[in-house]
Structure 1
Amino acid sequence: MRARVSIFIIWTAFAAIGAEADTIHLKNGRKILADQVRENGNHYQYEIGDDSYAIPKSLVDHVDAGGPPASVATAGIPKVADLPTFAPADSLANEGDLVGKIIKEGKVDPNALSTLDGKGNAELSATASFIAGKFEFEHGNINEARRYFEGALRFQPENSTILIYYAALLVRTGNAAQALPYTQRAVRAAPNSPDAYTMLGYAQFASDRTKDAIASWKHSLSLRPDATVQQFLAKAQREENTETDFAQRESTHFVLHYEGRQTSESLRAQILSALESDYDDLVRDLGTPPRDNILVTLYTEQAFFDVTRAPSWSGALNDGKLRIPISGVSSMTSELARVLKHELAHSFINQLSAGRCPPWLHEGIAQLLEPRNLGRDGRALAQLFKTQRNIPLNVLEGSFMRFYGTEAYVAYAESLAAVSYINDSYGMSDVQRILQLLSQGSSPEAALRATIHSDYGQLESDLAKYLADKYGN
């Protein structure tokens, strides 16, 4: 019997690989490979894997049947890893008994939720909504998770587990200030919960209350040892030691930390003025700004350098704060102004994508908005794509901290090239739309397909042509 099952699985796999797909030929010469295409009024509806998309007929030249299935062609590409997020260990008493009733075929069953709500039991309804929210949260569907968690809190507003998860969602989406009161309520409701104190520490640290975060994490560790919490505690203690002598200055959208003995009032004023101007520019270019004031730390003991292409600098400290080394700088320069705008752009991108933007898109948008162009790098990059020696975009979904020297330089250049192509061909509105889809839980490729109708393979092909046309290779 086991042999028959194995043969069936192998046969099924080969059948899937051999299945035919349809190809949409666009009038601009591009192609879209889809599992299935059908007409729907003035649009062609096409499917790739579990996702469905539409494209106006006016853009299509013709459709051919046949070819390898698109879902197989893109299978196995690693997805962008979520930023490290806090996963509470706490659960609700009757959670396990209800999961199977609420989560069916990999989705939340709204009918099951309605049935449970109809029983008139507040605890049962809270648990059901919490299970749905937890499922969506763990699958990156932030908007749905938020709706379910808020529903659960309406039934049990002082349930520590629900409060902890809701606070974790708020911190993850860049709303640490909003998360603080929920974490404080969680601690009051469950004073012996290490998860509650851990989450309180995260919210405090992200809100620039480093000293309070240190105390919270120490208390959490006294209740339960945890290697991750220990690492964050060590980081907070290092930062607290660094910033002990820092003074503070505020503007409309920024809280600026600086070491008063070594930075002039004139430079601080120039930096805040530049940031406020950049803020207005980025609101115009990207739309929704960060909800909370943005924390900026000036490091006066570290010589100024271009942090925007330093993976070890930006990647290791990606927690929503702007950190700028300024030793040796006495007044605003064009390079410092560019660095400030680049780093501020990351805060906007993080907010718009709910922390789900892949590094290549993050860095590409930030560079474009500095503004930076490919310049002399364009010709060399065109040659890399022509000879297929470029770094694949799916590889650039991972942290840039793995890259060094020339490889890091190429990673940033490719990121800028990809975003420049999207912006030049489709406009900044489609860049915004990609970020919005990411915030709703779409994978990077799914977001690209839904906006510019390209997967990574097609985008790289289009990018190669774009570079060749623009830079003569």
Structure 2
Amino acid sequence: MLKLNKIFIFTGCLLVILSIELLLAQKQTKTYRNYHFVYDTADSVYVKKLAAKIKKQLHQIEFFFNYKPKSIITIIITRSDAEYTSYRGKIMPEWSQALALTREKIILLKIENADDIIRSPEILLHELVHIFFDDRITTHKIPVWLHEGIAQYLSGYELTVNDRIHLANALTSNNIISLTAMDSLFTFGQVKARLAYIEALTAIQFIVKNHGVAALQMLINN
């Protein structure tokens, strides 16, 4: 079963890459350092602002990993669920807002409305952290809770009041997800996945508060 799953994932990734290559010819491009943005002409101003907004936090991510990408990372902006799905295929759950193909150094962003535009710097930084992980941590596997928790933390995401209420409700109803169970995150429904992300970030915040950021660096390197 594991072998079949790996074949399915590989085939899905291959189809995504082929779809991307076919559709890129219709797009405009902008390059900031090693970050190559691909987008529709109408989004030129938005992409310029997006590149500017990620700069400060991106430097912090590079500092955390003590690393700057040497190869090009392609960031594709999609403007509808249909367009995003045409690239994404079926390798990610329907609730996903973005996708990082870490080995291929490709990020897909789905931007459909004003709220997506506001959140897009944080979402993009989150996906960039996944690529940094793949580049820097090559000798061992990082647990999903740690991977996703650090991606949220380094992207600058802060838990909202609703997030905290969601977590409190899970605690009182004894529906907390174990950290090891989060390895199956991408099979979760949207509500359960949201709780998993909240728990992962909460765990990272606890570690940082009590032991400092250096403790996170030790965790991922050992």
Residue of structure 1 equivalent to 2:88: none
Does 2:174 match 1:394? Answer: no
Which residue type is aligned with residue 62 of structure 2? V
Does 2:153 match 1:351? Answer: no
Which residue type is aligned with residue 341 of structure 1? L
One of 125, 146, 164 as aligned partner of 1:378: 164
One of 326, 334, 338 as aligned partner of 2:111: 326
Residue of structure 2 equivalent to 1:274: 53
Q: How does 1:109-148 map to 2 (within 5 A)?
A: none
Distance, in Å, in 2 between the alignment partners of 1:321 and 1:395 is 27
How far has the Cα of 1:385 moved from its partner? 4.1
Q: How does 1:54-93 map to 2 (within 5 A)?
A: none
One of 194, 203, 208 as aligned partner of 1:418: 203
Residue of structure 2 equivalent to 1:263: 43
One of 51, 60, 69 as aligned partner of 1:290: 69
Whose Rg is larger?
Answer: 1
4+ long deviations beyond 6 Å:
226-229
Quick one: structure 1 residues 311 and 248, their matched pair in 2 at CA, closer, same or farther if it must change by over 3 Å? same
TM-score relative to the length of structure 1: 0.38
Q: Is the 8 A contact 1:365 1:416 kept in 2?
A: yes
Which residue type is aligned with residue 248 of structure 1? T
How far has the Cα of 1:364 moved from its partner? 0.8
How far has the Cα of 1:413 moved from its partner? 1.0
Describe the SS at the equivalent of 1:263: helix
Which residue type is aligned with residue 378 of structure 1? R
Quick one: structure 1 residues 269 and 252, their matched pair in 2 at CA, closer, same or farther if it must change by over 3 Å? same
Which residue type is aligned with residue 211 of structure 2? Y
Distance, in Å, in 2 between the alignment partners of 1:350 and 1:408 is 22
Distance, in Å, in 2 between the alignment partners of 1:340 and 1:304 is 17
Quick one: structure 1 residues 403 and 347, their matched pair in 2 at CA, closer, same or farther if it must change by over 3 Å? same
Q: How does 1:199-214 map to 2 (within 5 A)?
A: none
Residue of structure 2 equivalent to 1:128: none
Q: Is the 8 A contact 1:345 1:366 kept in 2?
A: yes
How far has the Cα of 1:326 moved from its partner? 2.8
How far has the Cα of 1:243 moved from its partner? 2.1
C-alpha RMSD of the superposition: 3.4
Residue of structure 1 equivalent to 2:33: 252
Quick one: structure 1 residues 339 and 316, their matched pair in 2 at CA, closer, same or farther if it must change by over 3 Å? closer
Distance, in Å, in 1 between the alignment partners of 2:147 and 2:9 is 25
How far has the Cα of 1:404 moved from its partner? 0.5
Which of the pair has the greater relative contact order for Cα pairs under 8 Å at 6+ separation?
A: 2
Distance, in Å, in 1 between the alignment partners of 2:106 and 2:97 is 10
Work out the number of aligned pairs and report it.
206
Distance, in Å, in 1 between the alignment partners of 2:169 and 2:191 is 15
Quick one: structure 1 residues 345 and 227, their matched pair in 2 at CA, closer, same or farther if it must change by over 3 Å? closer
Which residue type is aligned with residue 180 of structure 2? N
Q: Is the 8 A contact 1:283 1:289 kept in 2?
A: yes
Show structure 2 runs of 5+ residues with no match.
85-91
Higher helix fraction (1 or 2): 2
Q: Is the 8 A contact 1:298 1:323 kept in 2?
A: yes
How far has the Cα of 1:327 moved from its partner? 4.2
Which residue type is aligned with residue 343 of structure 1? E
For residues 272-299 of structure 1, the C-alpha deviation after alignment (integer angstroms, 9 at most, x for no partner) is 2223333212123343233323211111
Q: Is the 8 A contact 1:258 1:299 kept in 2?
A: yes
Quick one: structure 1 residues 243 and 431, their matched pair in 2 at CA, closer, same or farther if it must change by over 3 Å? same
TM-score relative to the length of structure 2: 0.75
Q: How does 1:112-191 map to 2 (within 5 A)?
A: none
Residue of structure 1 equivalent to 2:219: 434
Q: Is the 8 A contact 1:304 1:324 kept in 2?
A: no
How far has the Cα of 1:375 moved from its partner? 3.8
Which residue type is aligned with residue 384 of structure 1? A
Q: Is the 8 A contact 2:99 2:127 kept in 1?
A: no
Show structure 1 runs of 5+ residues with no match.
1-80, 86-225, 438-473
